Every structure is written in C-alpha cells, then in structure tokens.
Amino acid sequence: MDLTLVVLAAGMGSRYGGNKQLDGIGPNGEIIMDYSIHDAINAGFTKVVFIIRTDLKEAFESHYAERFQGKIKMEYAFQNEYTEHTAAYESNRKKPWGTTHAILAAKHLINEPFLVINADDYYGTESFGEAVTAIKGLKENEHLIMGYELVNTLSDHGTVNRGVCQVDEAMNLTGIKETLAIGKDGDEISYEEDGVKHTLKPDTYVSMNFWGFPASVLPLFEEKFIEFVKHNNEDPKAECFIPVEVDNLMKEGKATVKVVPTSASWLGVTYQEDKPHVVNGINQMIADGVYPKEVK
C-alpha cells in the first residue's frame, strides 16, 4: 500500500517568535520534522507532501537538497496560493484559513491513504508504526486519530491548545472539542471557559493533529470548507480546523474515527523556551540508539 505523509508547515509561529519549522534541534542541523520523516520511511511511507508558504520554498528545498534523497518522494503544496474558494476575501485575511484549508491545498498531490502531522511536533517513533497498522485496517468511511495522553503533551512554559477527545469503550471517537489554554498548576491540569475553571485527567486522550484518512475524505473536507467560508468570510481571523470538521462529519453520519492509543511522549516547540527540552530529548534518544547521530 502506498502511503503519503502530509506535513502541515505553513503556520506563522507567532507564539514561538520565529520560523520554528526550520529551526535546527539536532546535532547536524536536523529539524523536528526530519525525525518524523525518518520514522515514516521506516514505517513504509512512500511520499511526503510539505504544505508550506511560498516564502519558505527556497529554505525547504535547500534543507532537503540531499537529505532523504532516494528514500522517499518529496512534493510541495503552497497554502497561501490555494484560493479556489477564498479569492474574493484574501485582501481581508490576517491569518491562513486553517488546517482543513491546508490539506485542500495539497489535494492534487494526494491519491492514496495519508497521515497528517504538524511540522513542529515530535510524535515518537513507535506512533508511526502503530498508525500504519491501523490505517491498513480501516473500513469505508473510517478514519483514525492518534490518541495521546494529555500529560505527555504539555509545555512547562505556557498553555497549549488541544483537541480533547471523547472515546467510547470500543475506542471510537464520539466527539472532539478544540480546547484552548490548557496548562499545569502543580499536579492539576486545567483550562478556563466562560470564566469557569475545568480540570482534566492526565490520561485524557487528546489530538496532536496526527490523523489518518483515505483520499476519499478530500471532497468531504472541501464541502465543509466551502460552507465555512460562506459563514465566516467577514472574520479575518477565522480558521477552519480539521478536528472541528471531522466532528461535523461524525455528527452527520459521514465518518467514524478510530482512536489509536499511544503512550508516546510529545516533544514540540510551542514556545522558544521549549527548544532546550526538545534538544535534550533528541540527544537522549540518539544516545539510546533510537536515532543515528545524523538523520539523512
């Protein structure tokens, strides 16, 4: 089975304060997504599609001029150039149109089952093997989401946004809620909504935007995005998120989602202060033999 890895790398990095997609964290200038691509190659992926902005093209092509050559096919899609449904509203935009829009920017490059990840998140080497096993067993209209334990995805330097999953006894996703500003306060994990504080259990399953889909989901996402633009074109900051649209498809009976649990720990650079922790984590995995000294 041909499998494509779709990497969301067009984000603005406003909280990080720079271009975190290409910020080196490995001993030879490796960036976070290099480790994801390494893991994906070992898991059997045949193609990676980077969804980026046009201003990042030269830097990406330079970084990957020799890295992974002959091991996996690499292609690029440009989110800021995909205006098929938004051309009339681009002058009013202050942000990209969200992750659903990003995937649609790459629809012409995706003809096979695909996994979606963030460029600035490290997902754990075992998670790719688990995802591949799961995606090969999906039935018609079934999708997958990797379920991370919330406690393994938090930052010590600020709050994070997570898609909090509701899961039934058969590990089917029954709902997902984009939850903002989740943080730690001692041993307590909480967030506020409408002035009310809510606590979450450490083992709550959350989405790290690690999804698995058949190519047949793309027309459904396009329908949802057209509807989103119709209702939100006057809001320059409105974004169409994958978790929200998957939840809408589930409510309409057009999709079921299998939650694939993983105990892997997340590493990511939401904030500049997160970088030393990520660097140390990667170096430890190199010392433990999880990764070679140079990923290429």
pLDDT given at position 17: 42
C-alpha 268/C-alpha 234 separation (Å) is 32
Is the sign of the CA dihedral 257, 155, 119, 34 positive or negative?
A: negative
Q: Which long-range contacts (CB under 8 A, 24 or more apart) does 124-129 make?
A: 124/262, 124/264, 124/265, 124/266, 125/35, 125/39, 125/42, 125/264, 125/290, 125/291, 126/262, 126/264, 127/39, 127/210, 127/262, 127/264, 128/36, 128/39, 128/40, 128/42, 128/43, 128/45, 129/42, 129/43
Architecture field, domain 4-287: Alpha-Beta Complex (3.90)
pLDDT given at position 22: 81
Helix (H) or strand (E) holding 221: helix 217-232
Structure tokens at 277: 């922790």
Structure tokens at 54: 């046009």
Structure tokens at 98: 């969200």
The amino acid at 291: Y
Nearest to 150 by CA among 211, 208, 205: 205
Strand partners for 154: none
pLDDT digit of tens for each residue in the chain (296 aa)? 899 999 999 874 444 345 667 888 999 999 999 999 999 999 999 999 999 999 999 999 999 999 999 999 999 999 999 999 999 999 988 788 999 999 999 999 999 999 999 998 899 999 999 999 999 988 888 999 999 999 989 888 889 889 899 999 999 999 988 899 999 988 899 999 999 999 999 999 999 889 999 999 999 999 999 999 999 999 999 999 998 899 899 999 999 999 999 988 888 776 778 889 899 999 999 999 999 999 99
Structure tokens at 136: 């090969």
Place of tokens 């409408």: 194
C-alpha 149/C-alpha 187 separation (Å) is 15
C-alpha 120/C-alpha 20 separation (Å) is 7
Nearest to 274 by CA among 15, 9, 12, 10: 15
C-alpha 51/C-alpha 54 separation (Å) is 10
pLDDT given at position 27: 95
**Model pTM?**
0.90
